[in-house]
Amino acid sequence: MSIVKQTFILSTLLTLSCSTLAQAQGPYLDQTTIDRAVKPGDDFYAYANGGWLKANEIPASEASWGNWAILQKKTRLQLQELLQAIAAQKNQPGSDAQKLQDLYNSGMNTAVIDKLGVQPVQADLQRIDAISSPQGIATEVTTQYAAGLVGGTAPLFRLGHIADPIRNDVEIITLSQSGMGLPDKSYYAEASPKAVATRTQYVVYLQRLLELSGTPKDAAQANATAVMALETRLALGARTATENRNIRKLLNYYTLDKAQKQFPLLGFNSMFQQLSIPPAKIIVAQPEFFTGLHKELTATPLATWKDYLKVRLLNSAASALSMPFVEAQFAFYVTTLTGRTQMRPRSEQMVLVADGLLGEVLGKAYVEKYFTADAKKRIDELVQNVTTSFAERIQTNTWMTAPTKEKALQKLSTIRRKIAYPDKWRDYSALQIGPDYFSNIKAATVFAFRDGFNRVGKPVNRALWSMTPSTLNASYNPLNNEIMFPAGILLPPFFDPQADDAANYGGIATVIGHEISHGFDDQGSQFNEQGRYKNWWTSADKKNFTARGAALSKQFSQYVALDTLHVNGKLTLGENIGDLCGVTVAYQAFKKTAQGKGTQLIDGLTPDQRFFLSYAAIWRIKARDESMRTQVLTDPHSPARFRVNGPLSNIEAFYTAFNIKEGDKMWQPVSERVAIW
Ligand SMILES: [Zn+2]
**What mean pLDDT comes out for the span 648-658?**
98
pLDDT tens-digit profile of 532-553?
999 999 999 999 999 999 999 9
Residue 206 Cα, ligand 1 centroid: separation in angstroms?
34
Give 555-585 as a DSSP string.
HHHT-EEETTEE--TTTTHHHHHHHHHHHHH
pLDDT the model gives residue 623: 97
pLDDT band at 307 (very low <50, low <70, confident <90, very high): very high
Residue 18 Cα, ligand 1 centroid: separation in angstroms?
4
Residue 477 Cα, ligand 1 centroid: separation in angstroms?
10
The answer on pLDDT for 523 being more than 60 is: yes
Distance (Å, rounded) from C-alpha 333 to C-alpha 321?
A: 16
Which is nearest to 503 in space by CA: 418, 604, 615, 589?
Answer: 615
Residue 497 Cα, ligand 1 centroid: separation in angstroms?
24
pLDDT tens-digit profile of 391-423?
999 999 999 999 999 999 999 999 999 999 999
Bridge partners (DSSP) listed for residue 173: 161, 282
Task: Record the pTM.
Answer: 0.94
pLDDT the model gives residue 343: 97
The answer on pLDDT for 14 being more than 60 is: no
Long-range contacts of 445-450 (CB under 8 A, 24+ apart): 445/1, 445/148, 445/149, 445/150, 445/151, 445/357, 446/146, 446/147, 446/148, 448/357, 449/145, 449/148
At the second CATH level, the architecture of 113-343 is Orthogonal Bundle (1.10)
Q: How do the residues of the chain divide into helix, strand and coil, expressed in percent and rounded to 5?
A: 55, 10, 35
Q: For the domain made up of 10-61+371-424+497-672, give the CATH fold.
A: Collagenase (Catalytic Domain) (3.40.390)
Residue 376 Cα, ligand 1 centroid: separation in angstroms?
21
pLDDT band at 31 (very low <50, low <70, confident <90, very high): confident
Residue 580 Cα, ligand 1 centroid: separation in angstroms?
11
Which is nearest to 361 in space by CA: 96, 87, 107, 103?
Answer: 96
Residue 514 Cα, ligand 1 centroid: separation in angstroms?
6
pLDDT the model gives residue 373: 87
Q: In this structure, are residues 195 and 297 in contact, taking their beta carbons and an 8 Å threshold?
A: no
Residue 605 Cα, ligand 1 centroid: separation in angstroms?
29
**What mean pLDDT comes out for the span 555-568?**
97
pLDDT band at 432 (very low <50, low <70, confident <90, very high): very high
Residue 557 Cα, ligand 1 centroid: separation in angstroms?
18
pLDDT tens-digit profile of 177-219?
999 999 999 999 999 999 999 999 999 999 999 999 999 999 9
pLDDT the model gives residue 30: 80
Residue 507 Cα, ligand 1 centroid: separation in angstroms?
14
pLDDT tens-digit profile of 227-268?
999 999 999 999 999 999 999 999 999 999 999 999 999 999
pLDDT the model gives residue 10: 26
The answer on pLDDT for 5 being more than 50 is: no
Return the C-alpha torsion angle 96, 99, 104, 108, nearest 10. Answer: 160
The answer on pLDDT for 6 being more than 60 is: no
Residue 456 Cα, ligand 1 centroid: separation in angstroms?
27
Distance (Å, rounded) from C-alpha 34 to C-alpha 48?
A: 5
Residue 182 Cα, ligand 1 centroid: separation in angstroms?
24
Neighbours of 429 (CB within 10 A): 9
pLDDT tens-digit profile of 474-509?
999 999 999 999 999 999 999 999 899 999 999 999
Residue 63 Cα, ligand 1 centroid: separation in angstroms?
21
Residue 68 Cα, ligand 1 centroid: separation in angstroms?
15
Residue 515 Cα, ligand 1 centroid: separation in angstroms?
6
**What mean pLDDT comes out for the span 45-64?**
97
pLDDT band at 28 (very low <50, low <70, confident <90, very high): low
Residue 639 Cα, ligand 1 centroid: separation in angstroms?
13
Return the C-alpha torsion angle 443, 447, 449, 450, nearest 10. Answer: 130
pLDDT the model gives residue 20: 36
Residue 473 Cα, ligand 1 centroid: separation in angstroms?
9
The answer on pLDDT for 11 being more than 60 is: no
Residue 522 Cα, ligand 1 centroid: separation in angstroms?
12
- In the chain, where the domains are located: 10-61+371-424+497-672, 113-343
Residue 422 Cα, ligand 1 centroid: separation in angstroms?
21
The answer on pLDDT for 8 being more than 50 is: no
Residue 578 Cα, ligand 1 centroid: separation in angstroms?
6
